[in-house]
Structure 1
Amino acid sequence: MARRNGRMKNQLPDLYYEGYMEKRSFKDKTSRKLWTCLCGKTLFFFNDKRDEDYVEKLDLCGLVSVTDDSSPDPNLDAARFNVQMTKGNIKFTASNAESRELWKGYIHSVAKMEVPLTLNLLPGQVHILRETVQKEKERLTNPEPNQSPPAAVKLEMPACYYEVPYLEAELLLEREASKGNLLLRPGKQKGSFAITTRQDLEGPMFRHYRVLPKPEGGFYIAVDKPVHFDSLHDVVAYMVEKTDGSLIPLNIEAHYDKNISFIASDNENGERTQRALLPPEHPIRVTGKVRNDEPEPVENPPATDKKEEKASVTDGCSSGETRPVPEPRKLPPCPAPRTFAPTQPAAKPAFPTNAPEKPTTVSNPEMEKQILPAALSELKLRLGQKSKLRV
C-alpha cells in the first residue's frame, strides 16, 4: 500500500496514511470495505479510491485505545483491530498484519501525539511515525491565514455556517425564515464559534450560544452544564436532535433564473412592465454594414467595348452631380536614338592563325572594260596553240 504525503481531497487536512479497510461499528450490521484516509486527526471513508466525496468520517479526538481483536475467527489471515472511542467501539480489518500495525501506529500517534512503543514496527517505520507527530504539532500550532489554533485543522464546516457577525445573523434568520432557523457563525474569541437560533413565540425570539474549542481537540457548548463534542457537525446535530426538530439548520441555495427578462417602459402612458426575452429561432449572426457610397463587389463583371463613352464619377457631395473624365493628353513621339560608329579598331586575335588572308578586291567598271577583252584574246590564243599541238 503506497504512502503518498501531501495528497489533498476536497480541502481535507494533510494526508498521513491511506488504504482499503473493512469497517464495522455497533450501528452497522455488516462490514463494508472502504477506502480510508487518515487526514489530520480524522479518518475519512470513501466508497472507492478515486472518489472525491467521502461517505463517513471518524474524529479521533475522543480516542481511548487501539488494540488487536482477540475474538476467535476461523480466518487466520484476518488482521483485525479495535478502535475504542468514548462513544463506542469500532472494528477494522486491514489487508495484512503489517498494514494493521501501521494503522494502529498512525491512529495512536496523531490522536495521542506520541509514538506507541508496543507495536511490531521496523526502525524506519517508527521514524516515519515520529515525523508524523511533529507535522501534526506544527499544523496545530502554525495555523493558516484567517485561522487560529486549535481550529487550524482544515475542518469541513457545516452547511449552516455563515461568515456573519452577531446582528447580521439575526437579520439573516429573519429574512430567510422559511429556509431554517439555526446557523453557525464565527465567535468573538479566536478559534471559537457561536450558534444563533430564531423561534416565534408572540414574536421572533433570538438566542446565541458560544461554542468553544477544547485544548485536547473537539468543542463544547459553553452553558451551565457544558456539552462536549468531537466536531462542529456533532454540535449542529445535537441541537437538532435534542429539540425534536424544532431547530432547522439554515440552508440557502443559490437561485438562478431560467428565462431572460427585462423592465420595459411605455413612452405614451409611462407604465413599466416586465417582459420576457424570447430566444431566437436561429442563431444570431453579426455582420458588418455596407456603406451606400461603396459599390458591392461583382464576381463576374460584364465585358465592355474598346470604344466606351466618356465615364462620369460622383463627386462625393450631397447633390450627386457628375463631371466628365478628361481624355489623356497625347505626347509627341520620342526621336529615334542616334548611333555612332566605333572609333576604336577591332581587336586582333591574341594568337596568329595559319589560314591565308583573303585578297581584297575593288570593283571598278572602267577597269573591267579594259581587262576583259585582253583576257579573252589571250585565252583564244592559248586555246589555238593547244589545238595545234593535238593535231
Structure 2
Amino acid sequence: MAKRTGRPRSQLPTCYYEGYLEKKSFKDKTSGKLWTCLCGNSLFFFNDKRDTDYVEKLDLSGFMSITDDCTQDRNLDAARINLQMKDGNIKFTAPNAEARELWKGFIHSVAELSLPTSLNLLPGQLHMLREAVEQEKERRKSVPPPVTDSSPYVSLKANKPACYQDVSRMEAELLLDREAARGNLLLRPGGGNGNSFAVTTRQDLDGAVFRHYRVTCQHEGGFSIDVDNPVPCGSLHDVIDYLVGKTNGVLIPLTFEGTYERQISFICSDSENGEKSVQQAPSNLEPPSLPPKPVSRIATPEAAPAVVEEEDLYLNVQLEEKERETVDSTEVPPPPPKRAVMPPVSAACKWLSSTSAPSSSRDQKMRLLTEASGQIPLATISELKLKLEQKAMCLE
C-alpha cells in the first residue's frame, strides 16, 4: 500500500483508542494488518505503530452500524467486525474478543455520540467510553462548519492550497492567460455533484495550450487524480505537489501574493491652508508603557515604613488581646492573698484590757482592729471595740 503524506500524528485530533486491526473492504483485494487510531470522528491507518504519516483515512460520518462477524478465522483468538457505512461494508479483524468489544464501543460512541447498550464491558471501560463522548462533543463545537454543503470532505479553508480559485473552466483559462507571469496552474471546483475538484494548467506551444485534470474525493478519505493510472493523494496540497514535482517545476501554482507597506503613513491636513498630504510616522516610536503593577497587600519596610509600623502596631494589639483571651479562657485561679498574722482573739482582748498606753497608742490599736476586720469574726471585733472604748473612758 502506497504511503500517503498527511498531517503528522501530533496534528491529528484527540486519539480515543488505538491498536492493530486487519482491514478489508470491497475495494481491497487483500487484507492488511495496520496500526489503527480513532482520532476524532475518523479512523487513521498506519503501516507501523511508529509511523508518523498515515496511509489511509476512514471518515465515520457515514456510519450506520457495527456488528460481530461470526465467520471463522484461521486464528482462533481473532474476532471479526462488520462496519456498515452508507457506501459499503468494511470488515475488520481484532486480535481478540476483548479488543473487538472495545473497538465496537469506541467507534459507536464517537460516531453516534452516545454509549452503546449491548456491549460486554467493565465499568472502567464504560467510563472511558463516556469520557470519549464528552471530548468528542467539545471537539465538534470548536470545529468550524464546512466551507460548502456540497463538499463534505473539505471542511476547513486551510485544507485548500493557495492556488485555489472559485472559478469555472472558462474563467480559469482567462485568468491563467491574463496572469501568465504569476503562474500557470490553479485548482478550482469540479463539475458534476460538487464533490470533486479540477486542476487547470496553461503552457505555450505555438500558442496557449490548456489542460484540465479531474480530482475526485475518495470514500475512505483523501483524493485521487483521475488519469489512466489514478494517483492517490492524501490532501489537495499533495495533489499540487505531485503535479509540480512530476513536471520538474514546469507547472507553477498561480498565487496572488499582495505587497505590503514597509512604513506607517497617514494623511494629515495643514492647519493653515487645509491642504492634505501624506505624512510618514516616525520610526522611533516608543512602545506603550505597561500599566503599573498592583500594590501588594503587605508592603515591604523599604516601600512604606509608616504603613508597616501601623500595621505591626495593630497586629501587636491584636496579639495582646488574643493572649489575654487565652489566659482568661484557661481560668487559672488567682494566687491566694497574703493574710496578716494576727494574735489569737483571746490574747488580743487580754492585751487591750491590760494596756494602759496613752491615747495615741489606743488610736493605733483601733486602727489595727479596723485593718484586721477581714480576718476576725464580726462579733469579736464589736466586743473588742466596746472594751477599748470603756477602757478609754476609765482612763479619762
Normalising by the residue count of structure 1, what TM-score does the alignment of the two structures yield? 0.43
Q: Which has the larger radius of gyration?
A: 1
Normalising by the residue count of structure 2, what TM-score does the alignment of the two structures yield? 0.43
Task: Considering fraction of residues, name the structure with more helix.
Answer: 2
